[in-house]
Structure 1
Amino acid sequence: MTFPLGPFPASERLRFRLPSLNDAAFYQKLMSEPDYKRFIHDYGIESPEDAASFIKSKSLARFAAQGVGLWLVELKETGEPVGICGLVVRKELKYPDLGFAFHSDYRGKGYGREAGQAVLDFCTKELNLRTLCAITHPDNDRSANLLTKLGFEASGQRHLAEIDSTANYYVWKLRYVEAGLG
C-alpha cells in the first residue's frame, strides 16, 4: 500500500511536516520519555546521533516506501515541535495504523486530539481511505481514550510480530451521517 507524498495534514494550531535530521534533539527528548519507552517502544535512543539514524532509517524510510509515516507535528505559531502523528503501514494489519506520540510538556492541551482529527480528515479527503486501525499498549488508557474520542472502536487484541507484543486493536470507519449516504 503506497500513497502520494504530500500534501500533509493541517489543523488550526498545528503544522505537519516530514521529519529531518535537524529534528534529532527533539526525537531524542521524545523517545527517551518513560511513557514512550513503556507504551510504544524503547529504541535505545541515547544521543542525537542515534535519533538522527532513527529518523533516516525508520521515519523517512517509511515515507519513501509508502508515502505516509509519522509526521513531525509542530505549533504553527512558533514552529516548536510537540510530537509525531500519522499513519504506519504494517504488513500484519489490514488497514493503515494511526500512530501518535506527544512530548509530556504538551499533553493535556488538546494537541493529540487535534492532530488525530487532522490525520483522519486528511485520510478521507486526500487519500480516500474509509477505514483505519490503531494499536495501543494494553495499559495505555490515555491513548485508548483519545482513540475513542476520535471515533475508533475497540476490536479485541492483536499479537504483532513486528513489535513482538500483543496490543489492543481499534478500528475507525468513515460514517456518512447525511441521509441517504449510509
Structure 2
Amino acid sequence: MRLAARRVVRTERLTLLPVGKENLPDLVRLKGDEEAFGLMLHGVRTPQRTAEELEDDIDFWEVRGYGTWAVHRSEDGEFLGITGLMERPDGRGVALRYALWPHFRGQGYAREAAKAALDFGHAAGLKRVIGIARETNVSSRAVMEDIGMAQAGEYHHQGHRMMVFESLTAA
C-alpha cells in the first residue's frame, strides 16, 4: 500500500491516480470518443481493446513503477482524462501521453497533468522522455513545448507528419 501511495501525484488542481479496474467505464467512454482519442496512436478503441489496455496498464505499473494515471480534478473528483508514461511500441523510448475530454481543454489541465507525469518520470530515473504529436495537432505540441520539451525530430506515420519532442535530465 505504501508503494501505491507514492504513485499518487497531486498538483495544485489535480489528483493523478494510477489506473485501476474501477476506471474502466470512464476509460471506455474516453477512448471510444473520436474528439478525445482520435489523434492518439491507433485512434479510438473498442470497449474490449480498452479493457485489454487497462490490464496492460495495471501490469506495467507493477513492472516499471510508472504508467498511466487517471486525471481527476481535486476539488470535486471529476474524471478529466488520462496522462502517463508508456514504452512506445516502435522502440523510440518512453513516451509521455495525455488525453483529456474536449470540454476540459483550454483550462491548463493537460499542461498541469503532463508536467506532473514528466516530473514523476524523471524523478523515477528516466533520463529521456519523448512525446509525439501530429504536426497538425497544435494544442498537443503547445503542451509539450510549454512544459519544457524540445523538438527532437520527425517521421511519417500513416500519411501524417509526426513531431518528436524530448525532455532530458542531466547525466
Q: Could you say whether these structures have the same fold, taking a TM-score greater than 0.5 normalized by the shorter chain as the test?
A: yes
Instruction: Report the CA distance between 1:42 and its aligned residue.
Output: 2.9
Aligned to 2:136: 139
Pair 1:33 & 2:33 matched = yes
Identify the match of residue 73 of structure 2 among 48, 72, 75. 75
Instruction: Return 5+ residue gaps in structure 2 as ranges.
Output: none
Instruction: Please tell me whether the aligned partners of residues 83 and 101 of structure 1 are also in contact (alpha carbons under 8 angstroms).
Output: yes
CA distance in 1, matches of 2:134, 2:59: 24
CA distance in 2, matches of 1:74, 1:127: 22
Query: Which structure 2 residues correspond to residues 1-182 of structure 1 after superposition, within 5 A?
Result: 7-8=6-7, 9-40=9-40, 41-45=42-46, 47=47, 51-56=50-55, 58-90=56-88, 92-94=91-93, 96-124=94-122, 126-158=123-155, 167-174=162-169
Aligned to 1:180: none
Structure 2 counterpart of 1:54, one-letter code: E
CA distance in 2, matches of 1:129, 1:53: 26
CA distance in 2, matches of 1:173, 1:14: 24
CA distance in 2, matches of 1:31, 1:68: 20
Instruction: Report the CA distance between 1:43 and its aligned residue.
Output: 4.7
Structure 2 length-normalised TM: 0.81
Structure 1 counterpart of 2:117, one-letter code: V
Spell out, residue by residue over 1:118-172, the C-alpha distance to the aligned partner (whole angstroms, 9 max, x if none): 1233233x31334321111232111001101111111121468xx9x86321111
Instruction: Please tell me whether the aligned partners of residues 5 and 68 of structure 1 are also in contact (alpha carbons under 8 angstroms).
Output: no
Aligned to 1:178: none
Instruction: Please tell me whether the aligned partners of residues 14 and 76 of structure 1 are also in contact (alpha carbons under 8 angstroms).
Output: yes
CA distance in 1, matches of 2:87, 2:50: 21
Instruction: Please tell me whether the aligned partners of residues 74 and 82 of structure 1 are also in contact (alpha carbons under 8 angstroms).
Output: yes
CA distance in 2, matches of 1:135, 1:51: 21
Spell out, residue by residue over 1:19-38, the C-alpha distance to the aligned partner (whole angstroms, 9 max, x if none): 12221221122112223443
CA distance in 2, matches of 1:111, 1:37: 16
Q: Percent identity?
A: 23
Instruction: Report the CA distance between 1:104 and its aligned residue.
Output: 1.0
Instruction: Write 1 or 2 for the structure with the bigger share of strand.
Output: 2
Instruction: Report the CA distance between 1:14 and its aligned residue.
Output: 0.7
Equivalent residue of 1:68, what SS? Answer: coil
CA distance in 1, matches of 2:49, 2:119: 33
CA distance in 1, matches of 2:15, 2:115: 13
Based on CA coordinates, which of the two structures has the bigger radius of gyration? 1
CA distance in 1, matches of 2:106, 2:10: 20
What is the root-mean-square deviation of aligned Cα atoms in Å? 2.8
